Structures are given as structure tokens and as C-alpha cells.
Amino acid sequence: MFIKKDEISVPKFQIMDEKGTILEKERFALIEEKVLIEGLKRILFARTVDLQIVSYQRQGRMYTYPPNIGQEAIAVAAGMVLEKEDWLVPAYREMAAWLAKGVTLFELFQYWGGHDQGMALKQAHNMLPVSIPIASQLLHATGIGYAIKLKKQKNVVIAFCGDGGTSEGDFHEALNFASVWKVPVIFIVQNNGYAISCPFTRQTGAQNVALKSVAYGITGLQVDGNDFSAMYTSLKEVVGRARKGEGPFLLEAVTYRLGAHTTSDDPSKYRSIEEEKQWQEKDPLKRLSMYLTKKKKWSAQQEEKLVQQYKKKIEKDFKEFESSKSYDVHDCFNHLYSEIPEDLKAQQTHYEQFLQAKGVQK
């Protein structure tokens, strides 16, 4: 009489396992080697930028930042399948996809450096700004999908959120209407195991996120998000079907946040070193470089040389950011009220004093 929820199972799609062994030979053969090399280079670049930003933050040269380390294969694959006119609707932990859309390092530094101009997105085409309010962006993604359909365009939307985001009402509303309207939106949930300190087991009573697609009447899939080849292959197919008018898709990318939630978080308070070590073995960068090294298409020396090149570029752009005009402190307070209330005025004075004491104000 009842739906047997525990008997419905969702297989996790994987092509290359943690040791770099190919499990799905036919599918793997369809990926050109140059795509794998490009994927690895982009993961390496995103990783280098990520580590540098954390280091700048630790030196007091950057504000709070959410590290991407360990999750990069997902955003890299998304960035590689998106075409110019396609839309990217980001959360905040998929930097490689923003870079693919044309966000510059300078803008990235500006944004995480607290300057609103960083998300003016002067060069990135068809991308929404980063969304810090969890899952609110998904409604916009469905709306953009609706507009694309209305205009009879062939573009798609890729929208990101995290496992925590799936508990928001906005997630439900976005997926429900995406399904009803059959819009070309691919919802990628980066399930990195945690929403700050809340583990996935306490996020939902469901087995996983992918299964939720069934209830919405949406096609879904669970993918090993640390397997670049699986992410690339599945997204290619999923984007293709959305372009043909086959409606929305829910893709759960299973991964792990190897770093802290943000630079102000301490994960040792809520998870074990053993758990972190287990996931370090599944690192997407390690996996792909291991495979390509075995094939003699990659080497540790080449990787080190690239990291040095990337670091030079990052350092140059970061210095440019540091010597650029900092944001006007008053912009935090302006444009909220026509007449600024007394309590806000007091906050403003306090803030100015704080910045002066830190020697930040230019």
C-alpha cells in the first residue's frame, strides 16, 4: 500500500575511480584526451587561486572567503560545457565556473575583498552575481529558464546550490516550477557533506538529494563530483537534453569540502581528521593527474611549473587589486534610507573608527 522509499535506489555515476582506474570504458573513450588535460589545468588553476586567497586572508590582506578546495571538478566541468549564451547562476563555492564565464581574478579579489564592483561582472556574459543568501538564486534560475523558453531560445541555465540549500523553501519552489514549466535549467547540488557544521545526515531524512528529483517530476542523477570525467560526461548529456527542450534536471554532485566552510570556520570542532584523510584520497586533482601521469600526458614537474606560472599571474593581479581604490565605506550605509536613522549613524561612526584603528581606510 505504501511507497517503499527504502527500496528505491539511486546508483552513483562514476567513470574513473579514486585510483584512476576506468570503470566505464566506452563512455570514457568518448572524452577527448585534450578535454581531460584542459580539465586538469583548470582544476589546478582554481586550486592555486583558492589556496592563494586563503593565504592572503591569513595575512590580513583579504576578507572572509569560502574555500573551494576538493570540489573544483564540478565547477570546472560546468564551465566547460556552458556555451557563451548559456546562463550561470552561482551560489558562492564554484569559482572555476565563474572564471569560465569570464570573471577576472581582479574582480574575484574585489568581491572577496568586500568591493561590490567585483560582482558588476563587466566581462562575464549571462551570469548572475554570487548569492550568499542560500538557495535564493534558484528561483532566479527558474525565472531565467522561463524567459528562455518564452523567447524560444536554445540556451540553458546551470544553477548551483549546496546540500544545505536543499532545505530551503526556495529550493522546493524553484524545482516545482521548473518542472511544471519544463524549463531548461540544470540544478547542480554540490553535496559536500556539510552545511557549515551540519552534516548531511542531519540535513534531510532522504537517502540522498538526487532521489528528490522523482517527487518533483524532474529527471535526476547522482554523480561522483570528484570524478571530472563523470561530471563532464553527465553534464554534456544533461545540457544537451535541456537544449532540446526536455526540461529541467537535478544533478547531485557528491563531493567533500576539504577546507573550512569559510576562513572564519574551524572544521576540527565538528569532524574528524580520519574523515578528512579519507576524502583527501578522493581528491579530483590527484585522481586526474594520476591517470594522465600513467598515460605519460602529465608529470609532477609540469604541474609544478604550471603552479609557478599561475602564482605569478595571481600575485600580479592581487597586487593590482591591492593598489586599486578601496570601496567607499559610506556605501555600506548609503542607499538604504532617504534619511539615515540615528542607530545606523552610530554604527557608521563606530565602523569608521574601527577601520581607522586597523589602518584600513585610505
Ligand X SMILES: Cc1ncc(C[n+]2csc(CCOP(=O)(O)OP(=O)(O)O)c2C)c(N)n1
Question: Is residue 192 a contact point for ligand X (CB under 6 A)?
Answer: yes
Cα–Cα dist 312/305, whole Å: 11
* Grid coordinates of 152: 524560444
194 is catalytic: no
195 in contact with ligand X (CB under 6 A): yes
Classify 264 as helix, strand or coil: coil
What DSSP string describes 216-241?
HT-EEEEEETT-HHHHHHHHHHHHHH
Which of the residues 125, 270, 330, 350 is marked catalytic?
Answer: 270
In the complex with ligand X, the residue whose CB is nearer, 53 or 148, is 53
Min separation Cβ 261 and ligand X, Å? 6
- In whole angstroms, the minimum distance from the beta carbon of 335 to ligand X comes to 21
138-167 binders of Mg ion (CB under 5 A): 162-163
Tell me the closest approach of the beta carbon of residue 96 to ligand X, in angstroms. Answer: 14
* Distance (Å, whole) CA 264 – CA 114: 15
Residue 357 CB, nearest distance to ligand X (Å)? Answer: 28
274: its cell numbers: 580520519
Q: Does 183 interact with ligand X (rule: CB under 6 A)?
A: no
56 part of the active site: no
| Interface with ligand X (CB under 6 A), residue from 50, 72, 86, 163 | 163
Q: Nearer to ligand X by C-beta: 93 or 101?
A: 93
Using Cβ positions, the residue closest to Mg ion within the complex turns out to be: 162
261 is an active site residue: yes
Nearest-approach distance from CB 165 to ligand X, in angstroms: 4
Q: Catalytic one among 42, 93, 115, 257? A: 257
Q: Where are the alpha helices (DSSP H) in the chain?
A: 25-29, 33-58, 72-81, 95-101, 105-112, 136-150, 169-181, 212-216, 228-243, 273-280, 284-294, 300-322, 342-358
Give the per-residue contact string, 192-231, with Mg ion (x = CB under 5 A; - = no).
x--x------------------------------------
Q: List 190's β-bridge partners, or say none.
A: 162, 253
Contacts 24+ apart (CB under 8 A), 17-25: 17/227, 18/226, 18/281, 18/282, 18/287, 19/290, 20/287, 20/288, 20/290, 20/291, 20/294, 22/291
Q: What are the grid coordinates assigned to 165, written together?
A: 540549500
User: What's the closest the beta carbon of residue 359 comes to ligand X, in angstroms?
Assistant: 29
Alpha-carbon separation of residue 231 from 7, 70, 237 (angstroms):
26, 14, 10
Q: Considering only the stretches 53-61, 128-136, 138-146, 180-188, report the one whose residues sit in contact with ligand X under the rule CB under 6 A.
A: 128-136
User: Which residue lies nearer to ligand X by CB, 165 or 220?
Assistant: 165
**Considering beta carbons, is residue 258 or 307 the nearer one to ligand X?**
258
Q: Largest Cα–Cα distance of the chain, in whole Å?
A: 70
Binding mask 301-340 for Mg ion (x = CB under 5 A): ----------------------------------------
Which of Mg ion, ligand X, none does 67 bind, CB closer than 5 to 8 A by kind? none
Long-range CB contact pairs, 232-238, < 8 A, 24+: 232/31, 232/35, 232/39, 232/77, 232/80, 232/81, 233/15, 233/27, 233/30, 233/31, 234/13, 235/77, 235/78, 235/81, 235/158, 235/186, 236/81, 238/186
Q: List binders of Mg ion among 275-294 (CB under 5 A).
A: none
CB of 131 to ligand X, least distance (A): 9
Q: Which residues are catalytic?
A: 257, 261, 270
Residues that bind ligand X (CB under 6 A): 93, 132-134, 161-165, 190, 192, 194-196, 257, 261
Residue ranges binding Mg ion (CB under 5 A): 162-163, 192, 195
